Structures are given as structure tokens and as C-alpha cells.
Amino acid sequence: MSQVLVDANVLLDVPTEAPAWFDWSARTLEDQAAQAPLCSNPLIYAEVSVGFERIEELDEALPPADFTRLPLRWEAGFLAGKAFVRYPRDGGQHHSPLPDFLIGAHAAVARLPQLTRDVRRHRSHFPRLRLICPDPA
């Protein structure tokens, strides 16, 4: 595996010690980091930033030495827009903003596996995307 794009939901589970997800997210991040470089993009960085007061704290939590910072690709913007338009037609509600689709589209276009807990939306709108996700209960 060349790289793994890590979604904000997984990244936030660790510093917040999310009761339902801390163990799974911490263990999976560690396992994936042992196999391939972990990656982020500007949208993931922005989503994670809400949990920090200062940029220096965020950069300490997501150091560039541990999380490769990838630029967003233009093709991902197009694919995300199409998924965003289809989402309500497929029964989804726009509670989640367009950035979630951009993150999934980025992984799909770059052919990177995505570490996420947002399984349903990504599977239905990016069917070829390889997800690293919790096993269904």
C-alpha cells in the first residue's frame, strides 16, 4: 500500500478519547502507520482544526513528519460535486457538507485507501474506493 488517506472522524477520536471509537481508531491508526504513510488534505486538516485552539497545537497533533499533506486534485472536486448532487436522490439528507464528498472523491481519484468511519456514504457514492473501516456489527 502506498499511502492511506485518514478521515477527520478517525483523527478526532484519539485526542477527544471518543468513548465508542477511541480504541478502534487508535489501534487502526497505529496498524496502518506501520504499513503505509498516513495522509491528510486541506479539508481534513480544517475539520480536525475545530478541536484545537491554536494552529501550533494542531500541527503538533498532526505533524507533517507523520501525516503527509496532499493537495486536493481538481478531478476530486468534479467527482465530489456529482456525488453531492446524487446524495439526496439516493435518500440521503444534506446534514453533511460537501467537504465529506471531497474527501471521499480525493481518495477515489488518487486511488488511495481511506481510513474512515463514514462507511455508508462512501460505499454508495464511491464504490471502487477501498475503505479501511470498522467491521459491521
> In the structure grid, which three cell numbers stand for residue 21, read together?
471509537
Q: How many CA atoms lie less than 13 Å away from 89 in the CB half-sphere?
A: 6
Residue 98's pLDDT is what? 74
Cell of 104: 471521499
pLDDT at 1: 63
Residue 110: band (very low, low, confident or very high) from pLDDT cuts 50, 70, 90? very high
Average pLDDT, the chain: 88
On the question of pLDDT at 137 being above 70, the answer is no
Give the pLDDT score at 42: 93
* Cα–Cα distance for residue pair 45/71, rounded to 1 Å: 11
Distance CA 60, CA 73 (A): 26
Distance of CA 136 to the CA centre of its chain: 18
Q: pTM for the whole thing? A: 0.86
Distance CA 21, CA 17 (A): 8
Helix (H) or strand (E) holding 132: strand 131-132
Given this model, what pLDDT does residue 85 score?
Answer: 82
Residue scoring higher pLDDT (65 or 87) = 65
| Residue 24 identity (one-letter amino acid) | W
Taking residues 35-52, what's their average pLDDT?
A: 93
| pLDDT tens-place string over residues 48-82 | 998 899 999 999 999 999 999 999 889 988 888 88
What pLDDT shows up at residue 86?
78
Question: Residue 21: what pLDDT?
Answer: 96
Task: Pick the more confident residue, 90 or 85.
Answer: 85
